[in-house]
Amino acid sequence: MKQVDLSMNDLDAIAVSKGPGSYTGLRIGVSTAKGLCYALDKPLIAINTLLAMAHEVNQVNHSKLLLCPMIDARRMEVYTAIFDHELNQIEATNAKVLDETSFQGTLDKGQALFFGNGADKFKDFRVEEANIVLIENISPSASSIGSLAFEAYQRNEFEDLAYFEPYYLKDFIATKPKKLL
């Protein structure tokens, strides 16, 4: 804020990635955003993390391929969704266990872009398939969240500050740490 010579009160709203993603990361990010909104009396805008990733990749999607962002959800599972080149959601956000048949219906329709840290797992199964285009080093970016948040701001799409919670997608399950030998 100092670099652009603005104060916190100059902000019109606060935007945050709402998930899916890491339980701890979402909890910290949303708590911080809500605290700022409350202290500054500003509205909260929450953007789906997968949509933000698709928005970023879509800027170079000149062939208008389907977009499949993937976030690693541990083991062989990813958080994913499918978007068309206009960012319309074709397949809802879900947790998917990857195997040889994953996304078969999507791939039957033509080429699709797969990206995000979960896409690395997918290439082990389907890397030879012609309809798969893998893009590396894509993660959620503040600029994509900001662009989508600006659009939401113009439509007055704000979250209820008191009741908004991150979109975890799956319940948090606490486990006991392994005993050290």
Give the pLDDT score at 121: 85
Domain assignment present for residue 30? The answer is no
Local structure of residue 1 (DSSP, 8 states): -
In contact, 170 and 22? CB cutoff 8 Å: no
The per-residue pLDDT of the chain, averaged, comes to: 91
**Confidence label for 171 from pLDDT (cuts 50, 70 and 90):** low
**Confidence label for 106 from pLDDT (cuts 50, 70 and 90):** confident
Q: Which of 177, 158, 180, 176 is nearest to 18 (CA)?
A: 158
Residue 173 has pLDDT above 60, yes or no: no
For residue range 1-26, what is the model confidence (pLDDT) as tens digits?
Answer: 999 999 999 999 999 999 999 889 99
Domain assignment present for residue 38? The answer is no
**Confidence label for 131 from pLDDT (cuts 50, 70 and 90):** confident
How many domains, in total, are found in the chain? 1
The residues facing 70 across adjacent strands are 80
The parent domain of residue 78 ranges over 50-135
**Confidence label for 172 from pLDDT (cuts 50, 70 and 90):** low
- Secondary structure, 3-state, the chain: CCCCCCCHHHCCCEEEEEECCCHHHHHHHHHHHHHHHHHHCCCEEEEEHHHHHHHHHHCCCCCCCEEEEEEECCCCEEEEEEECCCCCEEEEEEEEECCCCCCHHHHCCCCEEEECCCHHHHHHHHCCCCCEEEECCCCCCHHHHHHHHHHHHHCCCCECCCCCCCCCCCCCCCCCCCCCC
Domain assignment present for residue 54? The answer is yes
CATH code, 80: 3.30.420.40
When comparing pLDDT for 128 and 112, which is higher? 112
Residue 157 has pLDDT above 60, yes or no: yes
Give the pLDDT score at 175: 61
Domain assignment present for residue 121? The answer is yes
The encoded tokens of residue 12 equal: 């019109």
The residues facing 47 across adjacent strands are 17
The residues facing 91 across adjacent strands are 82
For residue range 78-91, what is the model confidence (pLDDT) as tens digits?
Answer: 999 999 999 999 99
Domain assignment present for residue 70? The answer is yes
Residue 103 has pLDDT above 70, yes or no: yes
**Confidence label for 180 from pLDDT (cuts 50, 70 and 90):** low
Give the pLDDT score at 169: 81
